[in-house]
Chain A
Amino acid sequence: MQIDVSQFVQAFLEESFEGLDLMERELLSEDLLGSADHERINAIFRAAHSIKGSAGTFGFAAVGEFTHGVETLLDQIRAGSRPLNEEVRALLLEAVDRIREMLVAARDGSEHDANAAAQTQAAIAELLAAAPADEAAAAEPAPSAASAPAPAAPAGESRWRIDFRPHAELVTTGNDPLRIFQYLGDLGALEVQCDTVALPPLAELNPEHCYLRWTLELRGAGLAEARVREAFEWVADTCDLEITCLDAPPADAAAPASAGEQRAADAAPAEAHGERRRRGLADRRADASSIRVAVDKVDNLVNLVGELVISQAMLSTIAQAEPDEFDAVRVERLRQGLAQLERNTRELQEAVLSVRMMPISFVFSRFPRLVRDLAATLGKKVELVVEGEDTELDRGVIEKLVDPLTHIVRNAVDHGIEPPELRAGKGKREAGTLRLKAAHQGGNIVIEVSDDGAGLDRERILRKAAERGMSVPENASDRDVWQLICTPGFSTAERITDISGRGVGMDVVKRNIESINGRLDIDSTPGAGTRMTIRLPLTLAILDGMSVRVGDEIFILPLTAILESLQPTRDQLHTISGRGRVLRLRGEYLPLVRLSDVFNLPARHERPEDGIIVVVESAQDRAALAVDELIAQHQVVIKSLERNYRRVPGISGATIMGDGRVALILDVDMLTRIH
């Protein structure tokens, strides 16, 4: 039968990547070294074992070969014959990287760095060859007969006599002599003779024992002894077996050929000259086109749809009444039905959104490794504390969070936490603490990255800002000063290190976060540390918005962009040459943007002071938007304008209001740049 195993490759890769993540996570756990935590080592071993066992089956022989050494090493650690020290841990982590590279290359059809893989494999082999030598030798398997190609068959017919005397308990292992004979019968012509001499009288007979013996004669073309013996492979230790050749052709001796050679060929690195490529943590990003959803989430959806159908049926029944039958009772039932429908809809909405949700551990899980490697490179000591890694958020948000969060974490280790001697001098613990925390707060997700390092240096930031020619208000608040580091082109690092300061600065981080409707807040205390707080909406599909009226049109402003709204007095409004109309607010001049002008609509109020001003803030700037009226605050479902119509400057999307009208969602970023 033809079975195509390639259909299972996707599942194999997914579970292997998960296994590698688990290995890495467990290997990095602080208390692993020296501990006798058997379950942990077992879990690591099982992950390696699974990858090795499946790799060959799904056509990744090189991966299986490579993982074999890793498995042997882990098996020794598991058995207690090899201590797990820092050196072994580092090697195992390296091996995890290599396996991941091989699998990524297999997935993407690219080439992995075969040299690096060969080096790591050699290092593992070297370690295994060293003490404890006897263990290593024992664990290294002899080429197995089962996986070797069948020996070349000798020509001519051979005849074998088989004396088969099962022990009484042979059948208790589920083996059955009759099935063995059937198997032999497939190999050639079989004659069977049963010997009942050992059969006891019925009264003494144990029905679970085997008392019979057999003498068999098997004749087949080119039948080698190994083939015959194979039939008894599983019962070898529960029977006495004698196999004699009755008239074998002489050429049998050369039969067990080439098993060793075959193995050597498999072991050769598949691609000796892979282009050296830097592959980072990004490799771990799962394929975005498919998602794995817990079964209970799907069950819940099915349930809710069931409820929805019931509500709909109930409403239909009510609606079948004649118009004159709509009395108070019926109307009340209609109301109840609608209330139920509303609840169903809301629950269904939440459930559907939860399908796209995944735990933030997806991002957090990469940091233990990152922080460890980074700290080692920089000669720093860092303890990573992770909280709330089960917090769920939208898949799309998570994917866009990876880069900014990585950057912030790198920054914290590179610039935040001081070298151990410096910390000791300040009376701090030598090891700095880096805390990653995620939590729900209202309809938002709040992610905090905090360190107990040096904190931001206000004077240096101000000096740098002055050098860059940035305008900073007198007596600017700390908060405003910290935000300066998110300005394009700003970098306070005194030297360009390998880790940060490669041109991608905090401005990009901030922009990335804002692109997913998030906000970045910075808190810092000199000498005590820095805390970066990212606030994000739960999902990208729904937005908390404020609806505003301009003429007859309704627009939606994202709530996260709104700082305040006010009714301006005439003396707050000025015209400044070169900057146009501005609003003066607590000593600051904000450009006045009249939405009626931007979208060419007739405003209800000719003068801005008759309407309302909404002060908004984008990544770059603030602006005062003049509108006619604030209407209400609601959650709106974002519809793409580009997909349904085309891109319109100043508009980021559209939504459908309760009355069926379309309202456009304003692009605050664009509006603040318009002046």
Chain B
Amino acid sequence: MARILAVDDSASLRQMVCFTLKQAGHEVFEAADGVEALDFARTSATDLVISDVNMPKMDGITLVRELRGLPEYKFTPILLLTTESGEDKKQAGKAAGATGWLVKPFDPDTLLATIKRVLG
């Protein structure tokens, strides 16, 4: 069981991600944008962060950069949710320190298979 922070401004997608992860036995925390996520991260460590890229207030790329600046999140896996056209986003995400990405649209099985790659 891992502690996972799921960040997405789309409630439906967030619900789906959270539900899937909880079903798999993980403890899941939710945030609707980068600012909320960062606030949470400042006080709690997690084993994995899954974040959308395009969000109001603070986007996913900035979030990654900010998280990497926190001692607790220096090596924490961070996965970005991108769309297939987001090649430049993948690169920007990597440059900011993201661990990897998950391409939208995805189904629950893909999600679980992907997080397995970083949770060990």
Contact = CB atoms under 8 A, between A and B. Distances in A.
Interface of A: 1, 3, 5, 7-9, 11-12, 14-15, 43, 45-46, 49-50, 52-58, 61, 64, 68, 71-72, 139-141, 144, 146-147, 171-176, 178-180, 182-183, 208, 233-234, 237
A174 B75 contact: yes
B75 A139 contact: no
Contact of A57 (B13, B23, B68, B112): B13
Contacts of B99: 173-175, 234
25 contacts: A1-B24, A3-B107, A3-B108, A5-B107, A5-B108, A8-B12, A8-B16, A8-B19, A12-B13, A46-B9, A46-B54, A50-B13, A50-B54, A57-B16, A64-B105, A144-B84, A147-B84, A172-B68, A172-B74, A173-B98, A175-B99, A179-B117, A233-B100, A234-B94, A237-B94
B62 to A, nearest CB: 13
Contacts of B84: 141, 144, 146-147
A164 to B, nearest CB: 15
A27 B29 CA distance: 34
Chain B, interface size category, equals 35 or more
A173 B78 CA distance: 8
Contact of A3 (B19, B77, B81, B120): B19
A210 to B, nearest CB: 11
A54 B10 contact: yes
Interface of B: 9-13, 15-16, 19-20, 23-24, 52, 54-56, 68, 74-78, 81, 83-85, 87, 94, 97-101, 103-109, 112, 116-120
Contacts of B107: 3, 5, 57
Contacts of B108: 1, 3, 5
A15 B77 CA distance: 29
B11 A173 contact: no
A5 B68 contact: no
A183 B117 contact: yes
B9 A11 contact: no
A9 B12 CA distance: 7
B6 to A, nearest CB: 13
B8 to A, nearest CB: 9
Given A53-B81, A57-B106, A183-B117, A45 B54 contact: yes
Given A8-B13, A61-B105, A171-B75, 8 more contacts: A1-B108, A9-B12, A12-B10, A12-B13, A54-B104, A64-B105, A141-B84, A141-B85
Contacts of B55: 46
A3 B105 contact: no
Given A1-B109, A172-B74, A53 B100 contact: no
B85 A53 contact: no
Contacts of A174: 75-78, 97-99, 118
Given A11-B11, A12-B12, A233-B100, A46 B85 contact: no
A336 B29 CA distance: 46
Given A46-B9, A57-B105, A171-B75, A234 B83 contact: no
Given A12-B12, A172-B68, A173-B98, A57 B120 contact: no
Most chain B Cβ neighbours within 10 Å, of A7, A175, A178: A175
A597 B54 CA distance: 71
A56 B104 CA distance: 8
Given A3-B108, A57-B107, A174-B77, A15 B12 contact: yes
Contacts of A140: 85
Of all A-B residue pairs in the complex, the 8 with the closest CB atoms, nearest first, are A56-B105, A234-B100, A174-B99, A12-B12, A3-B108, A11-B12, A141-B85, A57-B105
Contacts of B11: 11, 15
Given A11-B15, A174-B99, A3 B23 contact: yes
Contact of B120 (A46, A56, A172, A178): A178
Contacts of B105: 53-57, 61, 64, 147
Contacts of B83: 49, 52-53, 71
A182 B113 CA distance: 13
A43 B87 contact: no
A52 B84 CA distance: 11
Contacts of A15: 10-12
A175 B100 contact: yes
Contacts of B19: 3, 7-8
A43 B33 CA distance: 13
A176 B120 contact: yes
Contacts of A46: 9, 54-56
Contacts of B97: 172-174
Contacts of A183: 116-117
A275 B76 CA distance: 53
A61 B105 CA distance: 9
A174 B99 CA distance: 5
A5 B19 CA distance: 10
Nearest to B86: A141
A135 to B, nearest CB: 12
A173 B94 contact: yes
Contacts of A234: 94, 99-101
A72 B85 contact: yes
A146 B54 CA distance: 20
B26 to A, nearest CB: 12
Given A174-B76, A174-B77, A233-B100, A50 B23 contact: no
B20 A3 contact: yes
A176 B116 CA distance: 12
